[in-house]
Amino acid sequence: MNQPIIRVENVGLRFDSFVALDDVSLSVNAGQCIVICGPSGSGKSTLLRCINGLERFQKGDVWVDGVSVRGCQDLPKLRRGVGMVFQHFELYPHMTVLENITLAPIKAKGLSRKQAEDLAFHYLDRVGIVDQAQKHPGRLSGGQQQRAAIARALALEPKAMLFDEPTSALDPEMIAEVLYVMRDLARGGMTMLVVTHEMGFAREVADEVVFMDRGRIVEHAPVDEFFSTPRAERTREFLNKILLKL
């Protein structure tokens, strides 16, 4: 097997006395899609933020494409290699969609405006909202905003993508359009780590599923195994709850 794109090794993080991550290890290989689920407060989002150095952890280390996050001298460069998509989109409301996407390629990567715009249009087309390029995010529907945010992350041509509950702030119709884009990305071979409660998406797209609770990885299994024969009691309990909801 080739070297994993993301390797998390024994990461531990605490906020004062609260243990947010407790000895978490995980690797994501090139082209893999791993879904992380678990109750709120279980450390899923914190784990994602550790991977691109947005959160400092006290124990262990994370390697992104062979570069250690803890010892990283050039975090901006490392972060460019890992796209991130947020629950609340976090598009910059005072810029048009096009400006949102071209900002980092121009300022952080040093592309010319022309190159950056070509890239932006390419990825806007890929997520299906090329016609929204000149609008401000406030004029877009939630689903369109999230797709624009995905395009913003893709425009840096990252080696991997992190999704932090990308559909939790959307209503059902819009969830479908965002999941469609994500499915398309995964099929295209993008390496993805997705925090979500969309079990349908997990079942269909993910290679492996991770279940976290109270800062630990309770279960980590290939997708079929995870749904058919979950080993941990806590996983079964959680799956029953959220599958019942559907």
Partner 1 sequence: MRYEFDWGLLWREPYFGWIVEGVLTTFHLALLAWVLALCLGIVIGVLRVTNSRVLRAIGTTYVEIFRNIPLIVQLFLWLYVVPQMLPREFSFWWNRLDNVPYWTAMIGISFYTSARLAEQIRSALRAIPPGQFKAGLSTGLTQVQVYRYVIVPYALRIIIPALTSEFLTVFKNTALALTIGVIEITATTRRIEAWSFRGIEAYTVASLTYIATTILVILFMSWLERRYQIPGLIKRGEARA
Interface positions with partner 1 (CB under 8 A): 49, 52, 54, 76-77, 79-80, 82-84, 86, 88, 90-94, 103-104, 107-109, 135-139, 149, 152-153, 156
Taking the least distance from each CB to partner 1, the nearer of 59 and 109 is: 109
Question: 21-25 — which CB contacts under 8 Å span 24+ positions?
Answer: 21/46, 21/47, 21/50, 21/57, 21/215, 22/214, 22/215, 22/216, 23/59, 23/60, 23/216, 24/60, 24/212, 24/215, 24/216, 24/217, 25/60, 25/217
Rounded to the nearest whole angstrom, what is the least distance from the CB of residue 192 to partner 1 in the complex?
A: 15
The Cα-based distances of 2 to 60, 68, 160, 164, 244 in angstroms read 22, 18, 15, 26, 39
H-run or E-run covering 240? helix 233-245
Taking the least distance from each CB to partner 1, the nearer of 142 and 230 is: 142
Tally Cβ neighbours within 10 Å of residue 41.
Answer: 14
Taking the least distance from each CB to partner 1, the nearer of 162 and 212 is: 162
Taking the least distance from each CB to partner 1, the nearer of 2 and 110 is: 110
Taking the least distance from each CB to partner 1, the nearer of 97 and 239 is: 97
List the structure tokens of 58.
Answer: 């006290």
Rounded to the nearest whole angstrom, what is the least distance from the CB of residue 179 to partner 1 in the complex?
A: 21
